[in-house]
A = this chain, B = another copy of it.
């Protein structure tokens, strides 16, 4: 009984779905991550790594780490060149408070990895509604708006009542008491009085990024 096992990478995923298999690092050891990156280096494959905690990144062999574009806030790393984009951002991301930024940035990095630009608008929670309304013009016309909010999660409902684009809610597990695990923000988005709001799992910035990507890809295919 050896200490490891064969993996079966989903090699046709990009062709099938339009994006690659991502390396979710939370459930992998430093050693496993290192071997995956080394293999990708060898085959000159680009990689997106998510939930790569700072201390795990620090433990990666220097040679490996040097190849990665690591972002400490979103805990993501990118291996390889990301495609350049000249187009104006067609995705806006809107968040409420400072706890929401790491999750928002995970979405941004995911979209960047596939060459999509994102317009970032942070710190515009509903407790000071004028901040959001003042910047409405910046996200009223884009096809996709990602809203990132924890606590009571009112932001996505307010945004979805203001803009005609697709609004994706990412609930965030911040706060304390009934807010702590993000379920209040999640249920708030699901039960929204604003029509056509769609939702991903708590803290799932990566998923929101992929959903936005599917929307842009579909629009591009016409």
Using CB atoms and an 8 Å cutoff, list the residues of chain A in contact with chain B.
Answer: 1, 3-10, 12-13, 16-19, 21-22, 26-28, 32, 71-73, 96-99, 101, 108-109, 112, 120, 122-131, 143-144, 151-154, 157-158, 160-168, 171, 173-179, 182-204, 206-207, 209-211, 213-215, 217-219, 221-222
Contacts and interface: CB of A to CB of B under 8 A. Distances in A.
A21 B194 CA distance: 10
A58 to B, nearest CB: 16
Given A152-B153, A198-B168, A217-B164, A177 B191 contact: yes
A188 to B, nearest CB: 4
Count of this chain's copies in the oligomeric assembly:
8
A218 B97 CA distance: 28
B122 A5 contact: yes
Contacts of A173: 177
Contact of A153 (B19, B188, B211): B188
A193 B6 contact: no
A90 to B, nearest CB: 9
A164 B219 CA distance: 12
Given A129-B158, A178-B202, 14 more contacts: A1-B71, A1-B112, A3-B71, A5-B101, A5-B122, A10-B128, A17-B164, A26-B176, A96-B193, A152-B190, A154-B188, A171-B177, A195-B206, A215-B215
